[in-house]
Chain A
Amino acid sequence: MRRVGLALLVVLTLFGSGLAGTGPASAAEPQASLPQLEDEVMCPVCGTLLGLSHSPAAERQRVFIRKLIAEGKDDEEIKDALVAEYGGQVLALPENRGIDVWAYAVPVIGLVLGLIGVLAAIIVWRRRRPERGSEEPVAAPSAAEEDRLDKDMARFDL
């Protein structure tokens, strides 16, 4: 019992620390970085991730981001500023608020519905399958059938 409790504690600690890492900005979170933002925002002119573009427009966008980083802005503030400048399409990933939440919710809902569908199919299939021993007994052959079977077998008797 003590071992189970200990294992549970370890799992909860690991899970908790994992959740803390994915949560919103905490005091220990490092400042926004250009390489990270380059993977999260688009170059509006090229239609690719900013990190993949070296067009003049992308270079100006980098200068803008560097300036905001120097001002001490965090990731979210910088993304908000980019959206204010270029519109929502500048974000590589949909935001996790408003109608954009559906971009994340729909795959999860689809997965859950799919699992429910598979489970339902398994249950129906198991119910339809006849239980062992419940099959109807096969009727014994009649005298005429037995006679015909004997004749047929005799033909193959070498």
Chain B
Amino acid sequence: MNWRTSIVVVGVVALLGFLVWGLVKKGDSGLAVGEPVPVATLPTLPEGGEGSIEDYRGKWVLLNVWASWCEPCKAESPALDRFEEKNRDRISVVGLDTKDLSEDALAFLREFRIEYPQLRDASGDYTDGELKTTGVPESFLIDPEGNLVAHFPGPFKDEAAIEAFAAPALEAATGTGKEASS
């Protein structure tokens, strides 16, 4: 094999390598269960404060990513609100508004009378770049150590679906309650 052929072969192999690496990177885009969920300090809604999911370390967290222009987010909102009201002593529901106008987001919260804590990621850098969401709504179940336990891309159809998703948190809290009472 002369040197020209060698260069062509090396070039083709490098090109194929880049293609395979690109495909692998694309396929491996989501957060893995068991891994720590990336944290970031973000503005809160209503504006004026700052917060992070790290503030909830030691508690179970259901992080719900939403936007006011998203119809499925509107559809799941009442069920999520009821779930939060019923289970707030066992799990913290935290909303994360993304790529949204602040006025629209606040109107959304008023319309659905949502009172649980809200963070705002206006640019989508955290949701797209760190949480690697592919759309809204998406929900993440995070354990007290800050690790991902479950991920649900899409809207919950009802309260039962949310309870099934958050079962590890609800069961852990029930287990702790039993241990405490025995």
Contact = CB atoms under 8 A, between A and B. Distances in A.
A57 B105 CA distance: 12
Contact of B122 (A61, A64, A86): A86
B70 interface: yes
Q: Is the interface of A mostly helix, strand, loop or mixed?
A: helix
B122 A60 contact: no
A45 B70 CA distance: 11
B59 interface: no
Interface string A76-99: 000000000111111000000000
Given A44-B123, A44-B124, A85 B67 contact: no
Interface residues of B, number: 15
Q: Is the interface of B mostly helix, strand, loop or mixed?
A: loop
Given A44-B124, A45-B99, 7 more contacts: A57-B99, A57-B100, A60-B69, A60-B101, A60-B104, A61-B101, A86-B122
Q: Which 10 A-B pairs have the closest CB atoms?
A: A87-B123, A56-B69, A44-B99, A57-B69, A60-B69, A45-B99, A86-B122, A85-B101, A64-B101, A87-B122
Interface of B: 67-71, 99-104, 122-125
Contacts of B124: 44-45
Contact of B71 (A44, A56, A61, A85): A56
Contacts of A44: 99, 123-124
A149 B177 CA distance: 115
A42 to B, nearest CB: 11
A59 B125 CA distance: 21
A123 to B, nearest CB: 34
18 contacts: A44-B99, A44-B124, A45-B67, A45-B124, A55-B69, A56-B70, A56-B71, A57-B67, A57-B100, A60-B100, A60-B104, A64-B101, A64-B103, A85-B101, A85-B102, A86-B99, A86-B122, A88-B123
Contacts of A88: 123
Given A57-B99, A60-B104, A64-B101, A86 B69 contact: no
B104 A86 contact: no
